[in-house]
Amino acid sequence: ERGGSIAVINSTNATISSNSVSSSAAARDGGSIYCSYCDNVTVRDSKFNGTYSPWGNGAAIYIDGNATVDNCSFDAFDALNDNAGIFVYNGNVTIANSTFDGIYSIWVNVTATAYITANNMTSDVPNKNMTYLGHEDYDIITNPFPYSVWNDGTIYLKGNKFDNII
């Protein structure tokens, strides 16, 4: 149900490295990786392609805890509740040196802090102009706006390339 390929629960000092995940899905959260109540978890040097969470959050990775995602690539991802490749639910998370091909790259929840550094977030529908939002209300299902990062929590941005609004 959670973590289509890997579930890291109540874990400290775990490293997931040099993996290639393709066509992975979880019914609820974390189409590839579900990290809950975790501390000092690192995901690095990995590729995620075709990851889905049809009834939850985080098409590729769902994080509830303190984690680092470094030097990863994300292509063809989709999640029902947030559309995001990475959903940061809670904790302090660093996302660095990674590439995202598609809109809705990262969602940071109100209870989370994310340090987003030197990432490349591209899409086939680039839009950096806030006037694009117009006067319509945002709704993830019926009226989503293309974004690179959705922030409800606290974010620190440094040296990123974005094709869509933050």
Confidence label for 124 from pLDDT (cuts 50, 70 and 90):
confident
Mean pLDDT of the chain: 89
Give the per-residue pLDDT at 50: 93
Residues 6+ apart with CB under 8 A from 66: 38, 39, 40, 41, 91, 92, 93
Q: Among residues of the chain, what percentage have pLDDT more than 70? A: 89
Give me the DSSP letters along 10-31.
Answer: S-BS-EEES-EEEEEE-SSS-S
Dump the DSSP string for 99-131.
EEESS--EEEEEEEEEEEES-EEE-SS-B--GG
- Yes or no: say if 1 and 31 are a contact pair by the CB < 8 Å rule: no
Q: Express as a percent the part of the chain with pLDDT over 90.
A: 67
pLDDT digits 0-9 by tens, 132-141:
455 556 565 6
How far apart (Å, rounded) are the C-alpha atoms in residues 57 and 79? 6
For 27-86, write each residue's pLDDT tens digit: 999 999 999 999 999 999 999 999 999 898 999 999 999 999 999 999 999 888 777 899
- 34: closest CA among 11, 13, 19? 11
